[in-house]
Chains A and B, each alone.
Chain A
């Protein structure tokens, strides 16, 4: 048996290293370490309540709008008011643009470049993959960066700038859009559609979103081999990505993109054997057993912690959030499974989440988001209000639950005499890369890594990198 320390990991957002125990060319045990602590919850403590909107988004420059919306939702829940329809739509549009940008950046810049590594040079699919996805050189990454700039022009119209906007307030969105701005938004969204239909899918979004099961998906990929998605599916089949990075943990989603007509993606839990069920957020808790922190484990609405770098048995700054004492996986796969998206449900028939399903779910979600974006932009009503003045009560407790690109994000806060007396955040990768809890249960990544093959002499096993990056980890959010 050998031990291997893999790190520093890159093409993940932030700092990560993984400790592996390897036997018979396989990972038999894994520990995920998030080695950076910045103290955001302590920084928020004692601030005037609305200043959370300046501080909280700066937890993460990648999902800054998600952090912003979680903080705004938590403050809004204290006040109990409803923003005007335009404000909700503007927030949904900016949020969906950020999440789509994150999904595609993950695919082109973070995940696929590992298949262009020299270790795969002998494979039949290598040359095409390397030309398209080689880090910093691939034509696919360059085309995506050009499109990404264009997509983020949504923020110029709606949010002033990105990352770190202050446009999203409890009362709505500070930037009203006139009829010209509405058309500019439509044009940006249309460009995204064209890009996806010409580059990623080589087919219409309607055709992609109507794929109902894995058989239909494979037949479709045969007919549309020119797209990057079909190319991914062929590499995935050759590398067995559907059998890599498996866990049978339940999948959780807080529900995403609420509007007057309810959420675009439903809230709930999907269990591989029992199917979908209702989410009971009262059973959320954070466990500190393996974290360099002291304090009571408990619900984020009450519990708080302080640091202890010398704690026995601790190996990460990441806490271990649990749902009803169980680890759960979050992310696009969870969102689409909970929302009963047919293809994603079918890909999970084996009873296991896996690397391939995580990637497919992300791209399927991207296609669905563009269809929603088109509706939301058209629904904007220039001339009607976007934001109401937001007077917060002097005291009260609130919670904001949103879905960031990487999964469920929650902010729990309390206000006393106009200032924040309590602030706890559970971020998506805190769930996915959580360490062992008091019951000794490893988190989703730690479970998914078990069984991962290690080639002879590998210092940074390539399959381990596929598994880690399949979660699209955001380590800066994880510890905050």
Chain B
């Protein structure tokens, strides 16, 4: 006993609120019991806490003056630095400064700084190429290190910003990262080159995809509701996007590819700048974005081979939205059988 609870302050910068909506689903019972079980004390969360207005201003003041200890600063949403660097795209009089400046000031008082979602990790949708909002992530803008806090930033515990990317992230990614931090069980070597926890990013969204058989035979979907593989024609980036998306259930039994649509690599920096999300860019008929570490010649050779071996069942099911040809064993071939017994049906 005697260990202080792990304190968390959660702020919403230029967000859609979706990461909060996701984390509300965390835990096998409910979020509040889950936090309690991990000994996590949420000092303030904009959607959950009772404190409002002046009570919040005074809490933030206490943190900035080190009267209240902050273990993890969680930021959801992109940091708005526009227009013209003023930060006025997110500026409330009650904070007395642009929100991005508030986040920068508080980050210096936290043992860990956590970007919840692709927006605060890499900029996300508002950091669109047009750059109207002058939006940035906490320590990255797309894949360029820097962002709001700068390349050299490390939090009190000596780590860079921890990036739980995803739009929105899986509730488990958020809760497991926070829980690991609360046990001081997430260290520098547990993060990938983009600051993402490796227990998530060591996998590809493709791993565990239930269209695997279609992928193997290159039996490709022609339209979004088809059951076939979405990679060849419909822009699916699951063989390139990092995340254990298909090794977990989303909202119970779901995932993007199970939902009938392609992976758009929402865990990756710059996913907002893709054009024609549901079309596979090709050069001379071959997809430009091949599986992450596969030599092109091999891919072409294997694709040609597997296409030539595709069973009729797989080919036909690939172009339907439900199973039209069920898997059944081939009929017994008595005459051709050497011992004349044939296979059991």
A contact set with B: CB distance below 8 Å: 5-11, 13-15, 17, 33, 35-40, 42-43, 45-48, 50-51, 54-55, 58-62, 64, 105, 109-110, 113-114, 116-117, 134-137, 141-143, 145-146, 148-149, 152-167, 169, 171-176, 178, 184, 307, 309, 382-383, 385-387, 389, 459-460, 465, 474, 476
Contact = CB atoms under 8 A, between A and B. Distances in A.
29 contacts: A7-B92, A8-B46, A8-B94, A11-B49, A13-B17, A15-B12, A15-B92, A15-B99, A17-B92, A37-B80, A37-B133, A42-B130, A48-B276, A58-B16, A58-B125, A59-B16, A116-B50, A136-B32, A142-B33, A155-B251, A156-B249, A160-B258, A164-B167, A166-B256, A166-B259, A178-B322, A309-B83, A385-B225, A474-B17
A8 B276 contact: no
Contacts of A58: 16, 18, 125, 167
A156 B322 contact: no
B250 A117 contact: no
A160 B32 contact: no
Contacts of B22: 61, 163
A7 B94 contact: yes
B12 A163 contact: no
Contacts of B29: 142, 146
A13 B322 contact: no
Interface stretch (B51-59, B105-113, B150-158, B188-196): B51-59
Contacts of A117: 50
A126 to B, nearest CB: 14
Scoring A59, A165, A465 by chain B CB atoms within 10 A of each residue's CB, the highest score goes to A165
A315 to B, nearest CB: 10
Interface residues of B, number: 81
B93 interface: yes
B2 interface: no
Nearest 8 pairs between A and B by C-beta? A160-B259, A61-B18, A174-B260, A156-B254, A156-B252, A153-B252, A145-B30, A156-B251
B179 interface: no
A148 B32 CA distance: 13
Nearest to A160: B259
B136 interface: no
A174 B278 CA distance: 13
A174 B261 contact: yes
A166 B264 contact: yes
A137 B223 CA distance: 47
B246 to A, nearest CB: 11
B52 to A, nearest CB: 5
A109 B257 contact: no
A387 B133 contact: no
A460 B20 CA distance: 24
A136 B48 contact: yes
B251 A166 contact: no
Interface in B12-45: 12, 14-22, 24-25, 29-33, 42, 44-45
Contacts of A166: 256, 259, 261-262, 264, 277-278
B168 interface: yes
Nearest to A47: B275
Query: Which residue among A39, A135, A141, A155 has the maximum number of chain B CB atoms within 10 Å of its CB?
Result: A39
A110 to B, nearest CB: 8
Contact of A38 (B52, B80, B86, B225): B80
Interface string B126-157: 10101011010000000000000000000000
Given A43-B126, A50-B278, A459-B54, A8 B95 contact: yes
A8 B12 CA distance: 11
The secondary structure that dominates the B interface is: loop
A376 B266 CA distance: 32
Nearest to B260: A174
Contact of A152 (B80, B225, B251, B272): B251
B69 to A, nearest CB: 19
Contact of B89 (A37, A160, A161, A389): A37
B63 interface: no
B53 A6 contact: yes
Nearest to B90: A36
- Kindly name the residue among A15, A47, A143, A184 whose own CB sees the greatest number of chain B CB atoms within 10 A: A15
Given A5-B93, A136-B42, A167 B259 contact: yes
B52 A156 contact: no
Contact of B21 (A62, A165, A459): A62
B254 A161 contact: yes
B253 A156 contact: yes
Interface centre among B17, B20, B86, by most chain A C-beta atoms within 10 angstroms, is B17
A142 B32 contact: yes
A81 to B, nearest CB: 14
Given A7-B92, A36-B90, A156-B252, A43 B130 contact: yes
Contacts of A459: 53-54
A37 B21 contact: no
A152 B25 contact: yes
B303 interface: no
A11 B55 CA distance: 14
B12 A148 contact: no
Given A137-B32, A142-B30, A54 B321 contact: no
